[in-house]
Copies of this chain bind each other. A is one copy, B any other.
Amino acid sequence: MRIAQVAPLAEAVPPKLYGGTERIVSYLTEELTALGHEVTLFASGDSVTSARLEPMLPQAIRLDPSIRDAVAPHMLMVQRVLDMAAGFDIVHFHIDHLQLPALRGRGVPYVSTFHGRLDLPEIQPLIAAFPEAPFVSISDSQRRPLGHIDVNWAGTILHGLPENLLPFSPREGGYIAFLGRMSPEKGPDAAIRIARTAGIPIRLAAKVDRADQAYFDEVVAPLLDQDGVEFIGEINEAEKAEFLGGAMCLLTPIAWPEPFGLVMIEAMACGTPVIAFNRGSVPEVVEDGVSGFIVEDELGALAALKGAAGLDRARVRAAFEARFTARRMAEDHLALYRRLLGQDRASVLRAV
Protein backbone atom coordinates (compact mmCIF):
# COMPACT_ATOMS: atom_id res chain seq x y z
CA MET A 1 0.00 0.00 0.00
CA ARG A 2 1.22 3.57 -0.68
CA ILE A 3 0.85 5.28 2.68
CA ALA A 4 1.59 8.87 3.76
CA GLN A 5 2.24 9.53 7.44
CA VAL A 6 1.93 13.21 8.36
CA ALA A 7 3.73 14.02 11.61
CA PRO A 8 3.71 17.10 13.82
CA LEU A 9 6.70 19.36 13.16
CA ALA A 10 7.35 20.31 16.78
CA GLU A 11 9.83 17.49 17.18
CA ALA A 12 11.79 15.27 14.81
CA VAL A 13 10.53 11.74 14.04
CA PRO A 14 11.67 10.07 16.23
CA PRO A 15 11.97 12.97 18.68
CA LYS A 16 15.32 14.15 20.00
CA LEU A 17 13.57 15.27 23.19
CA TYR A 18 10.14 14.66 24.69
CA GLY A 19 7.47 13.99 22.05
CA GLY A 20 5.06 11.09 22.45
CA THR A 21 3.23 11.66 19.18
CA GLU A 22 6.42 11.81 17.13
CA ARG A 23 7.64 8.57 18.75
CA ILE A 24 4.44 6.74 17.85
CA VAL A 25 4.53 8.08 14.28
CA SER A 26 8.11 6.83 14.04
CA TYR A 27 7.30 3.33 15.34
CA LEU A 28 4.28 3.08 13.02
CA THR A 29 6.23 4.33 9.99
CA GLU A 30 9.14 1.95 10.54
CA GLU A 31 6.90 -1.09 11.05
CA LEU A 32 4.78 -0.32 7.98
CA THR A 33 7.97 -0.01 5.95
CA ALA A 34 9.32 -3.25 7.41
CA LEU A 35 6.07 -4.93 6.38
CA GLY A 36 6.86 -4.01 2.78
CA HIS A 37 4.66 -0.96 2.29
CA GLU A 38 5.67 2.15 0.39
CA VAL A 39 5.58 4.76 3.13
CA THR A 40 6.19 8.52 2.78
CA LEU A 41 6.81 10.45 5.98
CA PHE A 42 5.99 14.17 6.06
CA ALA A 43 8.07 15.50 8.95
CA SER A 44 10.88 17.86 9.89
CA GLY A 45 14.09 17.42 7.93
CA ASP A 46 16.08 16.21 10.92
CA SER A 47 13.87 13.12 11.12
CA VAL A 48 15.42 9.68 10.62
CA THR A 49 13.38 7.02 8.85
CA SER A 50 13.60 4.05 6.53
CA ALA A 51 10.53 5.43 4.74
CA ARG A 52 10.78 8.16 2.10
CA LEU A 53 11.14 11.44 3.98
CA GLU A 54 9.41 14.57 2.72
CA PRO A 55 11.24 17.20 4.77
CA MET A 56 8.96 20.12 5.59
CA LEU A 57 11.59 22.35 7.19
CA PRO A 58 15.27 21.83 8.01
CA GLN A 59 14.87 21.43 11.74
CA ALA A 60 12.06 20.56 14.15
CA ILE A 61 10.28 23.66 15.43
CA ARG A 62 11.06 23.14 19.11
CA LEU A 63 14.79 23.13 18.36
CA ASP A 64 14.69 26.17 16.05
CA PRO A 65 14.55 29.43 18.00
CA SER A 66 14.09 31.45 14.80
CA ILE A 67 10.54 30.16 14.31
CA ARG A 68 7.80 32.24 15.92
CA ASP A 69 4.75 30.98 14.05
CA ALA A 70 4.58 27.23 14.64
CA VAL A 71 1.37 26.88 12.64
CA ALA A 72 2.75 28.24 9.35
CA PRO A 73 4.96 25.21 8.56
CA HIS A 74 1.99 22.94 9.27
CA MET A 75 -0.26 24.84 6.83
CA LEU A 76 2.45 24.51 4.18
CA MET A 77 2.65 20.78 4.94
CA VAL A 78 -1.10 20.35 4.51
CA GLN A 79 -0.83 21.93 1.06
CA ARG A 80 2.16 19.75 0.13
CA VAL A 81 0.22 16.65 1.13
CA LEU A 82 -2.70 17.78 -1.04
CA ASP A 83 -0.35 18.43 -3.97
CA MET A 84 1.06 14.90 -3.72
CA ALA A 85 -2.13 13.14 -2.69
CA ALA A 86 -2.63 11.33 -6.00
CA GLY A 87 0.47 9.27 -5.20
CA PHE A 88 -0.96 7.74 -2.01
CA ASP A 89 -3.60 5.12 -1.36
CA ILE A 90 -4.20 6.65 2.06
CA VAL A 91 -2.98 9.67 4.02
CA HIS A 92 -2.75 9.43 7.81
CA PHE A 93 -2.64 12.75 9.68
CA HIS A 94 -1.24 13.11 13.21
CA ILE A 95 -1.52 16.93 13.41
CA ASP A 96 -4.74 17.31 15.35
CA HIS A 97 -7.22 19.26 13.23
CA LEU A 98 -5.14 21.46 10.93
CA GLN A 99 -5.97 19.36 7.85
CA LEU A 100 -9.74 19.27 8.23
CA PRO A 101 -11.04 22.27 6.20
CA ALA A 102 -8.38 21.78 3.53
CA LEU A 103 -9.20 18.08 3.01
CA ARG A 104 -12.98 18.31 2.90
CA GLY A 105 -14.41 17.20 -0.39
CA ARG A 106 -11.06 16.75 -2.12
CA GLY A 107 -11.54 13.04 -2.80
CA VAL A 108 -8.35 12.21 -0.89
CA PRO A 109 -8.67 9.03 1.23
CA TYR A 110 -7.43 10.08 4.64
CA VAL A 111 -7.75 9.40 8.33
CA SER A 112 -6.69 11.41 11.39
CA THR A 113 -5.46 10.31 14.78
CA PHE A 114 -6.05 12.72 17.60
CA HIS A 115 -3.18 12.26 20.04
CA GLY A 116 -4.34 14.66 22.71
CA ARG A 117 -7.27 15.06 25.03
CA LEU A 118 -10.65 15.62 23.43
CA ASP A 119 -12.39 17.23 26.39
CA LEU A 120 -11.26 20.75 25.48
CA PRO A 121 -14.32 22.91 24.82
CA GLU A 122 -12.81 24.42 21.68
CA ILE A 123 -12.13 21.01 20.08
CA GLN A 124 -15.65 19.62 20.27
CA PRO A 125 -17.50 22.04 17.92
CA LEU A 126 -14.67 21.64 15.44
CA ILE A 127 -14.96 17.84 15.34
CA ALA A 128 -18.75 18.15 15.21
CA ALA A 129 -18.37 20.21 12.03
CA PHE A 130 -16.64 17.28 10.28
CA PRO A 131 -18.98 14.31 10.72
CA GLU A 132 -17.63 12.71 7.55
CA ALA A 133 -13.96 12.80 8.60
CA PRO A 134 -12.69 9.41 9.87
CA PHE A 135 -10.83 9.53 13.17
CA VAL A 136 -8.74 6.97 15.03
CA SER A 137 -8.85 7.11 18.81
CA ILE A 138 -5.83 5.95 20.81
CA SER A 139 -8.12 4.46 23.48
CA ASP A 140 -11.86 4.04 23.85
CA SER A 141 -11.77 6.30 26.88
CA GLN A 142 -10.39 9.12 24.75
CA ARG A 143 -13.75 9.22 22.94
CA ARG A 144 -15.85 9.71 26.05
CA PRO A 145 -16.03 13.55 25.99
CA LEU A 146 -17.37 13.35 22.43
CA GLY A 147 -20.15 10.88 23.29
CA HIS A 148 -22.84 13.40 22.36
CA ILE A 149 -21.27 14.24 19.00
CA ASP A 150 -21.68 12.40 15.70
CA VAL A 151 -18.08 11.37 14.97
CA ASN A 152 -17.01 8.99 12.20
CA TRP A 153 -14.83 6.79 14.41
CA ALA A 154 -12.77 4.47 12.22
CA GLY A 155 -11.46 2.51 15.19
CA THR A 156 -9.45 2.54 18.38
CA ILE A 157 -5.82 1.51 18.02
CA LEU A 158 -3.76 1.30 21.18
CA HIS A 159 -0.12 2.34 20.97
CA GLY A 160 2.72 -0.12 20.61
CA LEU A 161 6.50 -0.24 21.00
CA PRO A 162 9.13 -2.00 18.91
CA GLU A 163 9.32 -5.47 20.46
CA ASN A 164 13.02 -5.25 21.29
CA LEU A 165 13.17 -1.60 22.29
CA LEU A 166 13.17 -2.42 26.00
CA PRO A 167 14.50 -5.85 27.02
CA PHE A 168 12.83 -8.12 29.56
CA SER A 169 14.40 -7.73 32.99
CA PRO A 170 13.72 -10.86 35.09
CA ARG A 171 15.04 -9.41 38.33
CA GLU A 172 14.07 -6.18 40.07
CA GLY A 173 15.94 -3.92 42.44
CA GLY A 174 13.43 -3.30 45.19
CA TYR A 175 12.27 0.21 44.35
CA ILE A 176 9.14 1.86 42.97
CA ALA A 177 9.59 3.80 39.72
CA PHE A 178 7.83 7.04 38.76
CA LEU A 179 8.46 8.27 35.21
CA GLY A 180 6.85 11.29 33.59
CA ARG A 181 6.53 15.02 33.89
CA MET A 182 6.50 16.74 37.28
CA SER A 183 2.92 17.94 36.84
CA PRO A 184 -0.19 17.68 39.02
CA GLU A 185 -1.80 15.46 36.35
CA LYS A 186 0.94 12.85 36.66
CA GLY A 187 0.74 12.75 40.48
CA PRO A 188 4.37 12.56 41.60
CA ASP A 189 3.37 13.86 45.05
CA ALA A 190 0.86 11.01 45.43
CA ALA A 191 3.52 8.54 44.29
CA ILE A 192 5.92 9.72 46.98
CA ARG A 193 3.26 9.59 49.70
CA ILE A 194 2.28 6.05 48.72
CA ALA A 195 5.89 4.84 48.68
CA ARG A 196 6.70 6.50 52.03
CA THR A 197 3.63 5.02 53.70
CA ALA A 198 4.54 1.57 52.36
CA GLY A 199 8.14 2.03 53.42
CA ILE A 200 9.46 1.14 49.96
CA PRO A 201 12.14 3.27 48.25
CA ILE A 202 10.95 5.32 45.28
CA ARG A 203 12.95 6.75 42.39
CA LEU A 204 11.48 9.52 40.28
CA ALA A 205 12.71 10.25 36.76
CA ALA A 206 10.97 13.33 35.44
CA LYS A 207 11.38 16.59 33.65
CA VAL A 208 10.12 19.86 35.09
CA ASP A 209 8.41 21.97 32.44
CA ARG A 210 8.44 25.71 32.93
CA ALA A 211 4.65 25.65 33.32
CA ASP A 212 5.00 23.23 36.23
CA GLN A 213 7.82 24.99 38.08
CA ALA A 214 5.56 26.46 40.78
CA TYR A 215 3.87 23.09 41.41
CA PHE A 216 7.27 21.41 41.61
CA ASP A 217 8.74 24.01 43.97
CA GLU A 218 5.74 24.18 46.28
CA VAL A 219 4.36 20.64 46.30
CA VAL A 220 6.98 18.14 45.13
CA ALA A 221 10.34 19.58 46.21
CA PRO A 222 9.51 19.51 49.97
CA LEU A 223 8.72 15.77 49.63
CA LEU A 224 12.03 14.93 47.98
CA ASP A 225 14.06 15.56 51.11
CA GLN A 226 13.16 12.24 52.77
CA ASP A 227 14.98 8.96 53.16
CA GLY A 228 13.98 6.52 50.46
CA VAL A 229 13.04 9.22 47.95
CA GLU A 230 15.41 9.80 45.05
CA PHE A 231 14.85 12.29 42.22
CA ILE A 232 17.17 11.54 39.32
CA GLY A 233 15.96 14.24 36.88
CA GLU A 234 15.09 13.63 33.24
CA ILE A 235 16.32 10.41 31.65
CA ASN A 236 16.72 9.59 27.96
CA GLU A 237 15.41 6.61 26.00
CA ALA A 238 18.62 4.63 26.58
CA GLU A 239 18.38 4.99 30.35
CA LYS A 240 14.77 3.84 30.49
CA ALA A 241 15.54 0.15 30.17
CA GLU A 242 17.63 0.10 33.33
CA PHE A 243 15.40 2.47 35.28
CA LEU A 244 12.11 0.71 34.47
CA GLY A 245 13.58 -2.80 34.30
CA GLY A 246 15.11 -2.46 37.74
CA ALA A 247 11.86 -1.42 39.43
CA MET A 248 9.59 -3.71 41.43
CA CYS A 249 6.70 -1.76 39.90
CA LEU A 250 5.81 1.42 38.05
CA LEU A 251 3.45 3.72 39.91
CA THR A 252 1.23 6.05 37.82
CA PRO A 253 -1.18 7.83 40.19
CA ILE A 254 -2.55 10.01 37.38
CA ALA A 255 -5.14 12.66 38.12
CA TRP A 256 -6.43 13.19 34.58
CA PRO A 257 -8.08 11.12 31.84
CA GLU A 258 -4.82 10.40 30.01
CA PRO A 259 -5.79 9.18 26.52
CA PHE A 260 -2.84 6.75 26.51
CA GLY A 261 0.07 6.43 28.94
CA LEU A 262 3.07 5.19 26.97
CA VAL A 263 5.10 4.70 30.14
CA MET A 264 2.79 1.88 31.21
CA ILE A 265 3.62 -0.30 28.21
CA GLU A 266 7.29 0.66 28.50
CA ALA A 267 7.31 -0.79 32.01
CA MET A 268 5.42 -3.88 30.85
CA ALA A 269 8.01 -4.44 28.11
CA CYS A 270 10.62 -4.72 30.88
CA GLY A 271 8.42 -7.15 32.79
CA THR A 272 7.70 -4.51 35.42
CA PRO A 273 4.11 -4.50 36.75
CA VAL A 274 2.12 -1.27 36.68
CA ILE A 275 0.05 0.13 39.53
CA ALA A 276 -2.15 2.78 37.98
CA PHE A 277 -5.05 4.94 39.06
CA ASN A 278 -8.28 4.10 37.25
CA ARG A 279 -8.42 7.10 34.94
CA GLY A 280 -8.57 7.47 31.17
CA SER A 281 -7.10 4.57 29.21
CA VAL A 282 -5.72 2.67 32.23
CA PRO A 283 -8.30 -0.17 32.25
CA GLU A 284 -7.68 -0.71 28.54
CA VAL A 285 -3.93 -1.07 29.07
CA VAL A 286 -3.36 -2.76 32.44
CA GLU A 287 -4.69 -6.30 32.91
CA ASP A 288 -5.63 -6.29 36.57
CA GLY A 289 -3.79 -9.04 38.42
CA VAL A 290 -1.65 -9.94 35.39
CA SER A 291 0.38 -6.96 34.22
CA GLY A 292 -0.37 -4.88 37.29
CA PHE A 293 -3.21 -3.49 39.33
CA ILE A 294 -5.85 -0.86 38.64
CA VAL A 295 -6.60 1.12 41.80
CA GLU A 296 -8.90 3.96 42.73
CA ASP A 297 -6.77 6.00 45.09
CA GLU A 298 -3.68 6.16 47.30
CA LEU A 299 -5.14 3.64 49.75
CA GLY A 300 -5.83 1.21 46.94
CA ALA A 301 -2.30 1.65 45.65
CA LEU A 302 -0.90 0.74 49.07
CA ALA A 303 -2.79 -2.55 49.04
CA ALA A 304 -1.74 -3.25 45.46
CA LEU A 305 1.95 -2.77 46.30
CA LYS A 306 1.83 -5.99 48.32
CA GLY A 307 0.28 -7.86 45.39
CA ALA A 308 2.64 -6.45 42.80
CA ALA A 309 5.62 -8.22 44.34
CA GLY A 310 3.81 -11.51 43.71
CA LEU A 311 3.16 -10.96 39.99
CA ASP A 312 5.17 -13.03 37.52
CA ARG A 313 7.41 -10.66 35.54
CA ALA A 314 7.51 -13.08 32.62
CA ARG A 315 3.72 -12.89 32.40
CA VAL A 316 3.90 -9.08 32.45
CA ARG A 317 6.30 -9.22 29.50
CA ALA A 318 4.02 -11.72 27.77
CA ALA A 319 1.09 -9.31 28.23
CA PHE A 320 3.19 -6.65 26.50
CA GLU A 321 4.12 -8.93 23.61
CA ALA A 322 0.53 -10.03 23.11
CA ARG A 323 -1.01 -6.56 22.87
CA PHE A 324 1.47 -3.70 22.74
CA THR A 325 4.09 -4.26 20.05
CA ALA A 326 4.56 -1.79 17.21
CA ARG A 327 3.99 -4.71 14.82
CA ARG A 328 0.49 -5.22 16.22
CA MET A 329 -0.10 -1.46 16.04
CA ALA A 330 0.98 -1.40 12.39
CA GLU A 331 -1.18 -4.42 11.50
CA ASP A 332 -4.18 -2.79 13.17
CA HIS A 333 -3.58 0.29 11.06
CA LEU A 334 -3.28 -1.70 7.85
CA ALA A 335 -6.59 -3.40 8.60
CA LEU A 336 -8.15 -0.03 9.32
CA TYR A 337 -6.77 1.53 6.13
CA ARG A 338 -8.15 -1.42 4.12
CA ARG A 339 -11.52 -1.06 5.82
CA LEU A 340 -11.62 2.65 4.97
CA LEU A 341 -10.66 1.91 1.36
CA GLY A 342 -13.25 -0.85 1.11
CA GLN A 343 -10.53 -3.46 0.50
CA ASP A 344 -11.29 -5.70 3.46
CA ARG A 345 -13.23 -8.93 3.07
CA ALA A 346 -16.39 -7.61 4.70
CA SER A 347 -16.45 -4.58 2.42
CA VAL A 348 -15.97 -6.75 -0.61
CA LEU A 349 -18.89 -8.93 0.47
CA ARG A 350 -21.04 -5.86 1.07
CA ALA A 351 -20.19 -4.62 -2.38
CA VAL A 352 -21.45 -7.82 -4.00
Give the B-binding residues of A (Cβ under 8 A): 57, 66-73, 75-76, 78-80, 82, 96-98, 100-102, 104, 120-123, 125-126, 129-130
- Given the known inter-chain contacts A57-B122, A102-B102, please indicate yes or no for A130 contacting B79, CB distance below 8 A: yes
How far, in whole Å, are A70 and B125 apart by their CA atoms in the complex?
A: 13
Question: A122 contacts which of B68, B102, B123 (Cβ < 8 Å)?
Answer: B68
Other CB < 8 Å A-B pairs besides A76-B129, A79-B129, A82-B101, 8 of them? A57-B125, A67-B120, A68-B120, A69-B96, A69-B123, A71-B98, A72-B96, A72-B123
How far, in whole Å, are A44 and B159 apart by their CA atoms in the complex?
A: 38
How far, in whole Å, are A102 and B121 apart by their CA atoms in the complex?
A: 23
Does B97 contact A79, Cβ atoms closer than 8 Å? no
* Residues from chain B with Cβ under 8 Å of A125 in the complex: 57, 76
- Given the known inter-chain contacts A67-B121, A68-B120, A102-B102, please indicate yes or no for A126 contacting B78, CB distance below 8 A: no
Does B101 contact A67, Cβ atoms closer than 8 Å? no
Does B75 contact A100, Cβ atoms closer than 8 Å? yes
Question: A126 contacts which of B76, B96, B129 (Cβ < 8 Å)?
Answer: B76
How far, in whole Å, are A227 and B120 apart by their CA atoms in the complex?
A: 51
* Residues from chain B with Cβ under 8 Å of A96 in the complex: 69, 72
